[in-house]
Structure 1
Amino acid sequence: MTIPVVAGVDSSTQACKVELRAREDGRLIASGSAPHPATRPPVSEQDPHDWWRALVTAFAGALAAAPAVRVDAIGIAGQCHGFVPLDASGAVIRAAKLWNDTTAAPDLAALIADIGADRFVETTRSLPTAAFTIAKVAQFRAREPEAFSRMRTMLLPHDYLGFRLTGAYRTDRSDASGTGYFDPVANRYRLDHLERIDPGTDWAAMLPEVLPPEGITGSVSAAAAAELGIRPGIPVSAGAGDQHASALGLGITEGESIFSFGTSGVVVTTTERPLHDPTGTVSGTGNLTGGFLPLVCTLNAAKVTDTFTSLLGTDRETFSALALAAGSGGPVLAAFLDGERTPDRPGSSGLLADLTTATTREHLARAAVEGVVFGLLAGAEGIARLGFPLDGRVYAIGGGSRSAATPQLLADAIGRPVHLVDVAEPVARGAAVQAAAVAQGVTVRELGALWRPEGSRCLDPRAGTGAAERYARYHEVAAVTALDRRA
């Protein structure tokens, strides 16, 4: 018997993952994955053609694991903020600049000085950092003028895959709201910000149409269908930014929060109310149900623990055990190893404080994990200060959450239980929810609630770890990095 399914795609910095889920009830039928080229910040670039090749490979793997399926819709979630410039023929002009490329910091600083930080926050609900697309556009105009003159379309990573599937230039509200030139409250582009970069460019003609949550990018072309091994003509939903899809995939509600430990670190919640953070700490992006997703993102997450695992000459499992066995003393790490996005310190570096002759390998391992955790905890406090109380369930997701140490040290730091859900790929799951909503003709909000995953494992905070004292000390140590000694 053929099973009707939808495909949810997570095109992240590290890999492309495809989940095939039953169209009617969301059961996971099969999955596949393929890696993306490694990046090396502060210069972080990938060839968009590699994303397409990875999608084809991951799709083939999923179909091979479940040959008796019929794909009825596709949803694509992708890494946010990336910049994909295309020429008049739709060809890629240069490698895509990714979110964790911080080389555009000087170009962005000049743009913010011109427009004004307050004006940016007022019109886009976020204060851009070097991660945002607008920084990369300004850099492209200033440093590659000949290539810039050939640009006729500029897309985000998930838009590009939608274009390869359908031939259409379209995006969605969630991903557009992370560009620095889209207002998620008015739901319109801020062409005036782009005109400060180049007043002579027809920016409106270059930008993809922004679709609502139930929007359809287009239908899969015959050529794309042949490469993927599916039938042509099936709908491709509007798509999403990766963290926005993750929130949908987990079905979080107001007051609940997600701490995501992946290539980047992210803490988010969801709300119906727009936000305004004059400090620029919290981004007020759009979510996938028409509301908003208060979000704080840090650049330094998995690579911090990977670096310290290597420095200690151990493996990940042993490293986690060391961190959990550290006791109550020890040093504190401001984990800004390759610069940082939140706080906005692209020229900073990591700072390890309070080393003594009593410092142990266990202390160093815990400092690395807590450096990531504390950075996100500071972000969560920033969200709460804006009047969005995070008093509901706390979830830990991402590759880092599979380490025993990370979610436990998060629970210790916040003094509350942390939930781990049995959802291996929440981003791909959220993309599948959106695709299924399109296929069924229902709202994304409705289906997200119906497909909310059930059951979770809970980690309670441990007593006597000294986490509160180290977190207070973390703020002092992190403040020193404001000097940006590498700038």
Structure 2
Amino acid sequence: MYYIGIDLGTSAVKLLLMSGNGHIENIVSKDYPLYFPHPGWSEQNPEDWWTAVLAGLKELTEGFPADKVAGISFGGQMHGLVVLDGEDQVIRPAILWNDGRTAKQTDYLNQVIGKEKLSEYTANIAFAGFTAPKLLWMKEEEPENFSKIAKIMLPKDYIAYRLSGVHCTDYSDASGMLLLDVKNRKWSDEMIQICGIRREMLPDLYESYEAVGAILPEVAEQLGFSGQVKIVAGAGDNAAAAVGTGTVGDGKCNISLGTSGTIFISSKKFGVDEHNGLHSFDHADGHYHLMGCMLSAASCNKWWMDEIIGTDQYQEEQKEIRELGENHVFFLPYLMGERSPHNNPDARGLFIGMSMDTTRADMTQAVLEGVAFAIRDSFEIAKSLGIRIERTKICGGGAKSPLWKKIIANVLGLKVDVIETEEGPSYGGAILAAVACGEYGSVEEAAEKLIKVVDTIEPDAGLVRKYDERYEKFVKIYPAVRELYQELK
């Protein structure tokens, strides 16, 4: 049988066809537009997602026996607000995870409701990208649209709805809404009241590996699929990527260098750090995880290469970088504001340390190192909780760079394991579908059998020491300029 993983990303949807033994049979990607109606805002049209998914499913299964598809599951961009009216029609464009319009509402939640209360209700504090502040923004700025809301959804769950007719979400993705009681795996009554919504507006909750229903007959007919195809809840993109890299169970770590960047630590025990610098979320394996998330990671390098240097020769540019740990240029990678650990939507990118002998390669190196240093910010919080991590998996577009992986290994002082299949959320989604269909007994069993490490980048003790010194300087830059960001808006 075949299993499909759908990774609903920010710039494109990636669809992956996997056989029961974990072999990837086909991969298809479909782009869709991203809109910035105001500086710092970020929106998409859910209908564009659906059009791309349908076209992608047809192309993905072309040449394969489509009636052998047993299950479809998901990984998806988190936190986005999709709102439907009583006729299940989309009310307004989806407000995405990297949208920064909710500074006022985020401050209200953190300062008036209070971080302690939020942490008690949800295990997290408010960040501008989370869903609850977006609801408050709609309530204040678009009251007519707010009054029409019948269902509140997340991006991937809208696709699950279009495939199954079921309003659903999973615990991992719901964890990032600031509406879920993460510890007890249920919607928070307190947050529902604070946001001025009703319980029936929220979808039913499922484990990531649970089927929510079967494919709708009309969709199955259109695609040539069996009417028995299971639609499986899936997971937020980082939890799905963690499944796809085998970061499940207790004490495992994964770093994702995608549009955003994350450090993801799986745990069988629930935990929250004192200052809520890391997100405490439910995991797709039925347990928990801690996650530090930066809003711009590989997208920083893409911006630098595409918009500033004006080249698509990413690897060629990196060949000019020869001396690691010696660069005097620093880069703050906050092009879309920042989440972990600063929680500042007004933060912006910054180069500092240039001189007349600074080269183009120095600037490129600073971008790569700046992302690594920002990931280390979150890693340091995890270490402060007594969590001992000695190695990490790595995935995402940035993980295709040997140089960047070497920088990550030495900035964090970790062994970096490269896995055979670096397909992230789409592969994790396919694995979740296989578990739901009984191909594997659990997510952990599937990961153990399917995920293979093919290379390990070992940190160099001398280079680790150099990067420790560089990091001590990096962490002083943000506090020094923090107050300026508000003035520069």
Q: Same fold (TM over 0.5)?
A: yes
Q: CA RMSD in A?
A: 1.9
Match of 2:210 among 207, 215, 231: 215
Q: Which position in structure 1 is the counterpart of 2:305?
A: 309
The AA in structure 2 aligned to 1:192 is E
Comparing 75-84 with 60-69, which one deviates more in the overlay?
Answer: 60-69
Residues 1:250 and 2:235 are matched in the alignment: no
| C-alpha contact 2:325 2:467 (8 A) present in aligned 1 | no
Q: Which position in structure 2 is the counterpart of 1:235?
A: 230
Q: Which position in structure 2 is the counterpart of 1:444?
A: 442
DSSP-derived class of the 1:306 partner: helix
Comparing 171-180 with 31-40, which one deviates more in the overlay?
Answer: 31-40
Change (3 A) 1:324 1:121: farther
Change (3 A) 1:224 1:125: same
Deviation sequence 1:8-58 (CA, Å, 0-9, x none): 1111112111111113x2221222221121354721111111111111122
Residues 1:225 and 2:220 are matched in the alignment: yes
| C-alpha contact 1:304 1:337 (8 A) present in aligned 2 | yes
Residues 1:71 and 2:69 are matched in the alignment: yes
Q: Which position in structure 2 is the counterpart of 1:482?
A: 482
Q: Which position in structure 1 is the counterpart of 2:365?
A: 366
Change (3 A) 1:324 1:463: farther
| C-alpha contact 1:33 1:59 (8 A) present in aligned 2 | no
Change (3 A) 1:187 1:68: closer
| C-alpha contact 1:33 1:57 (8 A) present in aligned 2 | no
Distance of 2:156 and 2:403 partners within structure 1:
32
How far did residue 475 of structure 1 move?
0.1
Q: Which position in structure 1 is the counterpart of 2:83?
A: 85
Q: Which position in structure 1 is the counterpart of 2:19?
A: 22
Q: Which position in structure 1 is the counterpart of 2:286?
A: 290
Comparing 394-403 with 412-421, which one deviates more in the overlay?
Answer: 412-421
Distance of 1:442 and 1:361 partners within structure 2:
50
Distance of 2:451 and 2:209 partners within structure 1:
21
Distance of 1:248 and 1:216 partners within structure 2:
17
DSSP-derived class of the 1:19 partner: strand
Deviation sequence 1:82-111 (CA, Å, 0-9, x none): 110000010000000110001112112112
Q: How does 1:17-416 map to 2 (within 5 A)?
A: 17-23=14-20, 25-40=21-36, 42-67=40-65, 70-198=68-196, 201=197, 203-252=198-247, 253-310=249-306, 311-314=308-311, 315-325=313-323, 328-342=326-340, 343-391=342-390, 393-416=391-414
Q: Share of identical aligned residues, percent? A: 29
The AA in structure 1 aligned to 2:382 is I
Distance of 1:433 and 1:109 partners within structure 2:
39
Distance of 1:94 and 1:324 partners within structure 2:
49
Distance of 1:42 and 1:117 partners within structure 2:
24
How far did residue 191 of structure 1 move?
2.6
Comparing 249-258 with 444-453, which one deviates more in the overlay?
Answer: 444-453
Comparing 314-323 with 233-242, which one deviates more in the overlay?
Answer: 314-323
Change (3 A) 1:81 1:324: farther
| C-alpha contact 1:417 1:461 (8 A) present in aligned 2 | yes
| C-alpha contact 2:109 2:115 (8 A) present in aligned 1 | no
The AA in structure 1 aligned to 2:281 is T
| C-alpha contact 2:206 2:233 (8 A) present in aligned 1 | yes
Q: Which position in structure 2 is the counterpart of 1:470?
A: 470
**Structure 2-normalised TM-score?**
0.93
| C-alpha contact 1:433 1:447 (8 A) present in aligned 2 | no
The AA in structure 1 aligned to 2:237 is D
How far did residue 405 of structure 1 move?
2.3
The AA in structure 1 aligned to 2:26 is A
Match of 2:3 among 2, 6, 9: 6
